[in-house]
Amino acid sequence: MPYINVRVAGSLTQEQKAEIVTDITKTMERVAGKPPEATYIVIDEVPRTNWAKKGELLES
């Protein structure tokens, strides 16, 4: 049973989330032979103010 955690800085629309989980599920089925009903995906939307890059917080 694959468990996939996707973290993004900021937020996504419902349409974007739907496309992401559809594509990841299809990829797991095609590449790893995992049936869609066994693939779990969680999307964590983290505020940009809680992310840093190159030693600096990202802009909001």
Domain count along the chain: 1
What is the rounded distance in angstroms from the CA atom of residue 47 to the CA atom of residue 18? Answer: 20
Domain containing residue 21: CATH number: 3.30.429.10
Whole-structure pTM over 0.75, yes or no? yes
Q: Quick check: is 55 in a domain?
A: no
What b-and-e string marks burial along 39-58, b requiring 16 or more CB atoms within 10 Å of the CB? bebebeeeeeeeeeeeeeee
What pLDDT, in 10s, does the model give residues 17-45?
A: 999 999 999 999 999 999 999 999 999 99
Q: Quick check: is 59 in a domain?
A: no
